[in-house]
């Protein structure tokens, strides 16, 4: 697998566009991602009980496992907007379907922005019409721009997998994402759209997406808040002409995968982890990213709980911001994670330096640690020494700027 130039229009048979229709004052605010050919689709959505209208609409439609167009707007989340909001989300799909002459059943929708305001549907309708007209195979960066809110950078990546298609051309996968605030497991005001020209069965696509999201977007946190609008969607149109990738059950308990499935998953994971980490790096007010790796847990959920608790701790996050070598906060956070781990067995390494040995200070010199904590990327390894399970989480520091940004935003 190799990274290649480009974005979501790099896989064969995809077009995209991003336009400004006036939901936001300036900046692009409406995007389309279109497969010129029928495609299978899978999606994962926020687990928040307060779900935005577009989430409810897309979640329902994607059960069919087929979709070829996604309509996205930023600047307005269409959340807490009741029956009218739901109707507007449906309407966004209908307008786009009509303009492109496809079935509305094949159109998904996603929104991000302010909660509790109705969409300006006249502007949205105009925007969709404009966006249909400007669909192009060069449109990926426009989409990346049109979906961001407080993000400072656009986030996209394309890769070439090791799976061979027709004419020895390799299968491609690409993704685009937005993040910034309200980032927490599971998913968070984050949108991610993935395109691939792979030929793949619906079930296999769904399985691959779940795995990739669980080891990427569900392992990041910016502020521990979970959004009403989180959406990850993948469209696969089969234009690479590879032998259909599939998985099947030999027995109820035994799922069999063909060899290309593994290759597909590897590339998809790579894209999702790249985008997830980009989201953390670009977290509101963030100046540093840190990785919390937990090893030696008795159960997988223990590893996940501890990694998450440490990555979400405001005291750990401010310590990172201040390059303060305060491992006591890491110990306090992991102890609060509702597990049964024994503190007296735990080792902690910060940037490969042992700071806690069997639950007690290892005597690492503070000045050295302070220097290591001044880097942009910091790694923490928590060895529980109580089993074989592990988990990795990524977080960012908590700064005065995060507070400033979120005090102002309405």
Other C-beta atoms closer than 10 Å to the C-beta of 69 total 26
Distance of CA 386 to CAs 175, 271, 360, Å?
38, 32, 16
CB of 379 to a second copy, least distance (A): 20
Q: Which of 224, 283, 296, 395 binds a second copy (CB under 8 A)?
A: 224
CB of 209 to a second copy, least distance (A): 22
Looking at beta carbons only, is 77 or 174 nearer to a second copy? 77
Q: What is the DSSP string of 151-200?
A: -SS-EEEEEEEEEE-GGGPEEEEEEEEE--SS--SS--S-EEEEEE---B
Looking at beta carbons only, is 11 or 85 nearer to a second copy? 85
Site size toward a second copy, by CB under 8 A: 67
Give Cβ neighbours of residue 386 (< 8 Å, ≥ 6 apart). 296, 297, 298, 341, 342, 345
Active site residue 189: yes
- Residue 359 contacts a second copy per CB under 8 A: yes
- Residue 235 contacts a second copy per CB under 8 A: no
Q: Which of 262, 360, 368, 371 binds a second copy (CB under 8 A)?
A: 360
Residue 227: strand, helix, or coil: coil
Sheet with 170-178, edge to edge strand ranges: 2-4, 155-164, 170-178, 191-196, 231-236, 40-45
Distance, CA of 60 to chain centre = 20
CB 14 within 8 A of CB 40: no
234 closest CA partner among 191, 195, 186, 188:
195
Binding mask 178-217 for a second copy (x = CB under 8 A): ---xx-x---------------------------------
Give the footprint of a second copy on residues 51-110 (CB under 8 A). 51, 77, 79-82
- Residue 322 contacts a second copy per CB under 8 A: yes
- Residue 254 contacts a second copy per CB under 8 A: no
Stretch of residues binding a second copy (CB under 8 A), selected from 65-73, 92-100, 113-121, 238-246? 113-121
Say whether 46 counts as a known binding-site residue: no
Residue 317 has phi, psi (to 5 degrees) of -65, -35
Residue 80 CA to residue 69 CA, distance in Å, equals: 25
Residue 166 CA to residue 352 CA, distance in Å, equals: 46
- Residue 48 contacts a second copy per CB under 8 A: yes
Q: From the candidates 9, 189, 196, 231, give the one annotated as an active-site residue.
A: 189
Pairing mode, strands 220-221 and 247-251: unpaired
- Residue 368 contacts a second copy per CB under 8 A: no
- Residue 356 contacts a second copy per CB under 8 A: yes
Say whether 263 counts as a known binding-site residue: no
Mark 20-40 as b/e (b = at least 16 C-beta within 10 Å). Answer: bbbbbeeebbbbbbbbeeebb
Stretch of residues binding a second copy (CB under 8 A), selected from 41-49, 171-179, 251-259, 275-283? 41-49
CB of 368 to a second copy, least distance (A): 14
- Residue 256 contacts a second copy per CB under 8 A: no
CB of 48 to a second copy, least distance (A): 4
Say whether 284 counts as a known binding-site residue: yes
Binding mask 140-169 for a second copy (x = CB under 8 A): ------------------------------
- Residue 139 contacts a second copy per CB under 8 A: no
- Residue 407 contacts a second copy per CB under 8 A: yes
Pairing mode, strands 347-350 and 377-383: antiparallel
CB of 299 to a second copy, least distance (A): 14
- Residue 226 contacts a second copy per CB under 8 A: yes
Strand partners, 69: 34, 107
Strand partners, 71: 32, 109
Distance, CA of 83 to chain centre = 28
Which residues does the annotation mark as catalytic? 189
Numbered residues of the known binding site: 149, 178, 189, 284, 406
Residues that bind a second copy (CB under 8 A): 47-51, 77, 79-82, 114-117, 181-182, 184, 223-228, 312-315, 318-319, 321-322, 324-329, 331-337, 339-344, 356, 358-361, 366, 398-400, 402-404, 406-410
Numbered residues of the known binding site for substrate: 149, 178, 189, 284, 406
């Amino acid at each position: 697998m190799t990274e290649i130039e480009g974005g979501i229009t790099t896989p064969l048979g995809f077009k995209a566009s991003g336009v400004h229709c006036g939901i936001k004052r300036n900046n692009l605010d409406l995007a389309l991602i279109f497969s010129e050919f029928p495609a299978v689709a899978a999606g994962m959505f926020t687990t928040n009980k307060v779900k935005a209208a577009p989430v409810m609409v897309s979640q329902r439609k994607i059960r069919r496992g087929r979709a070829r167009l996604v309509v996205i707007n930023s600047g307005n989340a269409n959340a807490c907007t009741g029956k009218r909001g739901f109707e507007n989300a449906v309407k966004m799909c209908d307008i786009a379907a009509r303009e492109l002459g496809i079935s509305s059943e094949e159109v998904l929708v996603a929104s991000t922005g302010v909660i509790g305001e109705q969409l300006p549907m006249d502007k949205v309708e105009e925007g969709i019409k404009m966006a249909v007209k400007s669909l192009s195979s060069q449109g990926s960066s426009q989409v990346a721009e049109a979906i961001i809110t407080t993000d400072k950078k656009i986030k996209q990546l394309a890769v070439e997998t090791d799976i061979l298609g027709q004419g020895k051309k390799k299968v491609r996968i690409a993704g685009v994402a937005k993040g910034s605030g309200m980032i927490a497991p599971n998913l968070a005001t984050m949108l991610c759209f993935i395109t691939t020209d792979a030929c793949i069965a619906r079930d296999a696509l769904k399985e691959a997406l779940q795995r990739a999201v669980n080891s990427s977007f569900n392992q990041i946190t910016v502020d521990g808040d979970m959004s009403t609008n989180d959406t990850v969607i993948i469209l696969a149109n089969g234009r690479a002409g590879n032998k259909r990738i599939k998985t099947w059950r030999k027995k109820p308990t035994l799922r069999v995968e063909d060899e290309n499935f593994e290759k597909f998953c590897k590339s998809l994971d790579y894209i999702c982890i790249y985008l997830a980490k980009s989201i953390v790096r670009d977290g509101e007010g963030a100046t540093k990213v840190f990785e919390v790796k937990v090893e030696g847990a008795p159960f997988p959920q223990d590893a996940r709980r501890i990694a998450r608790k440490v990555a979400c701790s405001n005291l750990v996050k401010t310590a990172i911001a201040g390059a303060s070598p305060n491992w006591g906060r890491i110990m306090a956070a992991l102890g609060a994670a509702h597990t049964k781990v024994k503190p007296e067995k735990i080792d902690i390494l910060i940037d490969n330096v042992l700071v806690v040995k069997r639950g007690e200070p290892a005597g690492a010199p503070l000045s050295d640690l302070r220097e290591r904590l001044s880097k942009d990327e910091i790694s923490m390894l928590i060895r529980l020494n109580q089993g074989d399970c592990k988990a990795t989480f990524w977080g960012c520091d908590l700064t005065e700027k995060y507070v400033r940004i979120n005090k102002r935003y309405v």
